[in-house]
Amino acid sequence: MRLIIADDHALFRQGLRSLLALEGMEIVAEVEQASALEAVLAATPCDILLLDLQMEQWTMDRISELARNTGVIVLTANESVETGLTALRLGARAVVQKRFAIETLMTAIRAVAEGLVWMPPAMQAALVAQDGPAAKKLTPRESEIVRFVAVGMRNAEVATRLSLSESTVKTHLTNIFQKLGIRDRIELTRYAIKSGLVTVQDR
């Protein structure tokens, strides 16, 4: 796996680079200024971007563009559950707090490499605890799609797994969102966990 570290603290980048090297990870670039991030990614493709949310002049809505070309793992000192969930809604594949040990980050990296979404247990618990949509009857096909989306699969991946066209998956998801009265994949994940379609271990 090729990784890029984007963080404006040199000591943190150097320490993280050394730890990841011990785990066999290839760090292909480091970015210390948010303004340089897109150019570095264009010149140096990577599988996973380790992104500090607190970089100077950084705005979270830029995650959406970055996530189109690489797996974004958010690194943050912010303990806010809402901040983490917002990052996931914008396309991040994982949220890892900086106080966690390297083993936790490696777990997140491996999950993202497998096409899954990863978040800390506290965030999972908060997600489940939020008031969710009332349970509605889903068709077996809709339930399958919900399970795959809830573990982090993109529409194209779901289409391949179920031998459907991507447009058919999108149509199913539109119907599911309307049926459940939800707005996005994070709420769909909460529904899937609360209704027993997936478990925290599945994710």
Query: Whole-prediction pTM value?
Result: 0.70
Predicted pLDDT of residue 22? 93
- The whole-chain average pLDDT of the chain stands at 86
Predicted pLDDT of residue 127? 67
Q: Which amino acid is at 144?
A: E
Please indicate, yes or no, whether residues 83 and 178 belong to a single structural domain of this protein.
no
Number of structural domains, the chain? Answer: 2
Predicted pLDDT of residue 129? 64
pLDDT tens column, 162-194: 999 999 999 999 999 988 888 888 888 878 877
The verdict on residue 125 lying in a domain is no
Q: The domain spanning residue 7 has which CATH number?
A: 3.40.50.2300
Output 1 or 73, whichever has higher pLDDT: 73
Please indicate, yes or no, whether residues 62 and 104 belong to a single structural domain of this protein.
yes
Position 201 confidence tier, pLDDT thresholds 50, 70, 90: very low
Q: If you average pLDDT over each of 12-21, 87-96, 144-153, which comes out highest?
A: 12-21
Please indicate, yes or no, whether residues 20 and 42 belong to a single structural domain of this protein.
yes
